[in-house]
Structure 1
Amino acid sequence: MNLTDIFKMLTDDTRIRLLNILSENQLCVCEVQAVLDISQTNASKHLNKLKAAGLITDEKKSQWSYYYLNDSFWEKNQYLYQYLKEQWHTEDRYINDQKNLKEYISKNIDCMFILK
């Protein structure tokens, strides 16, 4: 992936928000939807773009795919990752997403409950 492609992935706020919450946990589409309060279609679209670009990867568990940061990509781009982490810890929107993630996790809700 070249530099232009990397920055194209970061031109969308939803994708930056996704990277923020995936930096803390593996999440499935329905969990992303709940934490970021976006539609499942929107969550899936952005997760697929990030995965195709190599910024995230996934692991299949039963019928669910859980997404997480692609360590090899971020190790190669550690300065970019450090910059993003600084922004995630200083900008209200990203701080709020982390708060929502912690609240969601504390409720122990699973995907079966969300889909009902």
Structure 2
Amino acid sequence: MEIVEILKALGDDTRVRVLHLIQEKPLCVCEIQEILGISQSNTSRHLIKLKNAKLIRGDKKAQWVYYSLDPDTFGKYSFLEELMKNLNLYKDLDRDRQALQRLQEKGFSCETLTKG
């Protein structure tokens, strides 16, 4: 049942943090792991769970995959849109967004990592 997989995926703090980060702009694994302070393998494991629940999708750009919210699933389940609006109220999640902003201001991305 799709709804059960969605609820299971939402039952983890790290996965909720990922959803919050990618709600406005697609991010690659490097960016997500840097902001959350977790390993690449751990980041990938969480992304797989979110992808299996159809909450996110990955779009390949050159050698990188950029993850974003899956509009089909979010359009199908209205409670997900409401959840994302309410996540913006949590200060802990706001710290992640600020960290993302700092990284972007420095020009950090998967592309710049492989060049340097």
TM-score by length of 1: 0.89
For structure 1, the 5+ residue unaligned runs are none
Structure 2 Cα separation of the partners of residues 80 and 58 of structure 1:
19
Q: Which residue of structure 2 aligns with residue 105 of structure 1?
A: 104
Q: Which residue of structure 2 aligns with residue 3 of structure 1?
A: 3
Q: In 1, are the aligned partners of 2:6 and 2:54 still within 8 Å (CA)?
A: no
For structure 2, the 5+ residue unaligned runs are none
Structure 2 Cα separation of the partners of residues 39 and 97 of structure 1:
16
TM-score by length of 2: 0.89
Structure 2 Cα separation of the partners of residues 112 and 59 of structure 1:
15
Q: Which residue of structure 2 aligns with residue 76 of structure 1?
A: 76
Q: Which moved more, 1:32-41 or 1:74-83?
A: 74-83
Q: Percent same amino acid among aligned pairs?
A: 39
Structure 1 Cα separation of the partners of residues 76 and 3 of structure 2:
12
Structure 1 Cα separation of the partners of residues 44 and 106 of structure 2:
23
Structure 2 Cα separation of the partners of residues 81 and 111 of structure 1:
28
Aligned residues: 115
Q: Which residue of structure 1 aligns with residue 13 of structure 2?
A: 13
Q: In 1, are the aligned partners of 2:30 and 2:109 still within 8 Å (CA)?
A: no
Question: Deviation of residue 112 (structure 1)?
Answer: 4.3
Q: Which moved more, 1:18-27 or 1:1-10?
A: 1-10
* Residue 106 of structure 2 is aligned to residue 85 of structure 1: no
- SS at 1:49 equivalent: helix
Aligned structure 1 segments of 4 or more residues deviating by more than 6 angstroms: none
Supply the RMSD in Å over aligned alpha carbons. 1.6
Q: Which moved more, 1:105-114 or 1:56-65?
A: 105-114
| 1:18-33 correspondence to structure 2 within 5 Å | 18-33=18-33
Q: Any idea what the Cα deviations from partners look like across 1:21-54, whole Å, max 9, x if unmatched?
A: 0101111111111111111111110011111111
